[in-house]
Amino acid sequence: MRFRALGVAAAVAGALAVTAAPAGAAQNWQAVSTNSTWHCGGYKTHKVSDNVKFKVCAVINGSRYGQAVLVVQNAASVAVSISGAVSSNFGSNVDCAGYTLNAGFTRGCLAPTKYVGNESIFVVAGRLRLNGVDDWYYDTEFYVP
């Protein structure tokens, strides 16, 4: 009886380990919606497709914490494969995991939140890999009053 219980526990642990891995693989891409705390550059068309656009943003809260974000919009009629990176001069940096972005969707890759203080220039840069081809959104400056 003890072996059977041990076998069931091992099977449950194994199943949890297998199901947990894929969920974490694209954890930094999520639906985004801008508001007054978002400061973004204009959309840039990726060199692979006229239908995939991306931009970088700085999200600054009232306590003067900032977060760098890479935003990707897919206006194509098919899903695309994306990954990339976003970084800032305050260390709000992250590698954006591989992700399938469906047609008509917009997603953001959010870097960690870092303290930026008052009277600061928050500089954000991003790289979008679309179907295996990189394109860059170079340093964009956002003033933090």
Q: Tell me the mean pLDDT in the region 60-64.
A: 93
Q: Tell me how far apart the alpha carbons of residues 125 and 37 are, in angstroms, rounded to a whole number.
A: 18
Region 45-57 average pLDDT: 97
Write the pLDDT tens digit of every residue in 121-131. Answer: 999 999 999 99
Give per-residue pLDDT as tens, 86-123. Answer: 999 999 999 999 999 999 999 999 999 999 998 999 99
Q: Is 74 left (phi over 0), alpha (psi -120 to 50) or beta?
A: beta
Residues 7-26: tens digit of each pLDDT = 433 443 333 333 333 333 34
Alpha-carbon 121 to chain mean position: 21
Give me the amino acid identity at 32.
V
**Which amino acid does the sequence have at 131?**
N
At 27, the pLDDT band (50, 70, 90 cuts) reads low
